[in-house]
Chain A
């Protein structure tokens, strides 16, 4: 009897249940672990890596990887100035992740809000938002970035802005399409009959459905934005030295392909592993966030539980 208490948040799932569901998918588990390590390294990097690692050490110029003779810092080799690759990679991870996460957060918030508005409002406001998205979609995004970054100096702030703007349409369209479908659902009608106003139905019954879709999209988009930033930096119009990102490291290592392949290889590998982990986690999230599919990830939920 007492168990019939009113749960707090919608679909209130404990952290423990999420972890249990994660454990049921080994690949997603590995991906989460990798991302966790990465974020930790980016956050704690400066504290962990001795300052000496950032210094030039001409004796170790282009030291090859996988040799412990120079200490664990040089396990991934050293660059053309004799700096530890590992230390450089961790340093670059900070700006790489920062740029991507700010851009994704920005386009998620603005695009999601505009999409919800476009889905709810009828009339010229919605049309304007959609046409704007159309124009942005048909504009080659890499080119937009090139124009803007070439016009206004390629600072981190401008790169974030450009990346966020080019990704806006994706969120606008996804959110709007979902809302158009959701607002015709029976339980939304039921809520209106109860007397719920538009804001209440939106926040209680519509947005919670759009949110997982948008979050999954954001995870995939994070990967996309990271690739785009790397591509821009690779082309020389993204992040500028002395700042460094993985994409820039690949570009800088490109000239030494024949003599020191690890200079370009490892940063690229990290880009790849990070995007792959995000994609893996996103496909796991798609299942875990859906109450009707969630049972697949729960113990003993394999049979009989499905409707």
Chain B
């Protein structure tokens, strides 16, 4: 297990390195920031001075070298837009997104385990058919449309919930609700499938032959086995939220990392683009390792592989 984690970390580092190169050059392809930050009629000299100040005049390779040297010192550069260290800007936005992701995934996983297990108890029954169809519908819903429909209904027509911003409990309901629809739909199907398999597994027969109570059979013997595939999928979904809750953050005005990334790309704020992608990638890699560990914790066969 130890060498497995080490190998996974090494692979992640390689991928991270690839990502750094990609991000650096892709960002610079979007054009010169001088066009955005200086008045249209700015003089050539002013442009020169701007570029000189931010180091955009040097050859790309030199800029890249400087970026790497700074990176080694955990210096991710300076935000042109906010005139502050880029890392600071990013670290400010991260907790908002992480909180959103944590709440959403907790609710989605808990709900999916409940609905999925109930559906698997009686395949083909009413709960199963309703749950399967609804979860498929949930997995198919376009989030931006659900979001604005929800605003239309709950904020505009009924006036129950605030349209955007964050602060009170009521501000959380719509963003979380919209964000969890798709993970929930996908997870219900995964839970249903894996619990169906686990409940018909031979070891469940053994447990019944031992005279174990049915509740223990389902929630101790079957569930721990049934959870294994769920963890992987839930991890992917959580990574998706950390990576790009862009739509929900934009529509509901949440100052999270997704909104920050979009804004900084549009504003050609290179340092912030790089910093935010690096930080989210690092979080996702860390999450993947935690998921591997959780997998090993639940399944001894993985631990000993």
Contacts and interface: CB of A to CB of B under 8 A. Distances in A.
A231 B143 CA distance: 8
A268 B30 contact: no
Contacts of B144: 230-231, 234, 247, 250, 268
B148 interface: yes
Contacts of A151: 26, 29-31
B178 interface: no
Given A138-B284, A235-B262, A268 B15 contact: no
Interface stretch (A7-15, A59-67, A275-283): A275-283
A142 B133 CA distance: 28
Nearest to A257: B152
A139 interface: yes
Nearest to B153: A261
Given A143-B277, A150-B265, A27 B133 contact: yes
A104 interface: no
Given A150-B30, A235-B246, A143 B145 contact: no
Contacts of A92: none
Contacts of B250: 235
A254 B164 CA distance: 15
Contacts of B285: 138
Interface string A205-228: 000000000000000000100010
Nearest to A146: B265
Contacts of B281: 138-139
Given A140-B280, A261-B152, A271-B145, A276 B22 contact: no
B244 A140 contact: yes
A258 interface: yes
B139 interface: yes
Nearest to A251: B144
Contacts of A231: 142-144, 246-247
Interface residues of B, number: 42
Interface in B256-285: 261-262, 265-266, 277, 280-281, 284-285
A135 B139 CA distance: 26
Given A257-B152, A276-B136, A283-B136, A235 B142 contact: no
B233 interface: no
B102 interface: no
B284 to A, nearest CB: 6
A150 to B, nearest CB: 5
A271 B179 CA distance: 17
Nearest to B280: A140
Contact of A268 (B149, B156, B280): B149
B265 A268 contact: no
A243 interface: no
Contacts of A134: 11, 14-15, 18
Interface string A264-275: 110111011001
A27 B140 CA distance: 15
Contact of A230 (B142, B266, B284): B142
A258 B142 contact: no
B149 A135 contact: no
Interface in B145-175: 145-146, 148-149, 151-152, 156
A147 interface: yes
A131 interface: yes
B140 A135 contact: no
A112 B233 CA distance: 22
A279 B182 CA distance: 13
A141 interface: yes
B137 interface: yes
A191 B7 CA distance: 36
Contact of B151 (A144, A257, A272): A257
B141 interface: yes
B19 interface: yes
Nearest to A150: B30
Contacts of B146: 268
B79 interface: no
A113 to B, nearest CB: 22
A229 to B, nearest CB: 10
Interface in B236-251: 243-244, 246-247, 250
B291 interface: no
Nearest to B262: A146
B27 interface: yes
A265 B149 contact: yes
Contact of B136 (A146, A261, A264, A280): A280
A258 B157 CA distance: 8
Contacts of A254: 148
Interface string A176-201: 00000000000000000000000000
Interface string B1-42: 000000000010011101100100011011100000000000
Contacts of B148: 250, 254, 257, 264, 268
B136 A131 contact: no
A143 B265 contact: yes
Interface string B27-71: 101110000000000000000000000000000000000000000
Interface of B: 11, 14-16, 18-19, 22, 26-27, 29-31, 133, 136-137, 139-146, 148-149, 151-152, 156, 243-244, 246-247, 250, 261-262, 265-266, 277, 280-281, 284-285
5 contacts: A139-B281, A231-B246, A231-B247, A265-B149, A275-B140
Given A139-B281, A231-B247, A235-B247, 12 more contacts: A131-B15, A139-B277, A147-B27, A151-B29, A227-B143, A230-B144, A254-B148, A267-B145, A272-B137, A276-B140, A279-B139, A280-B136
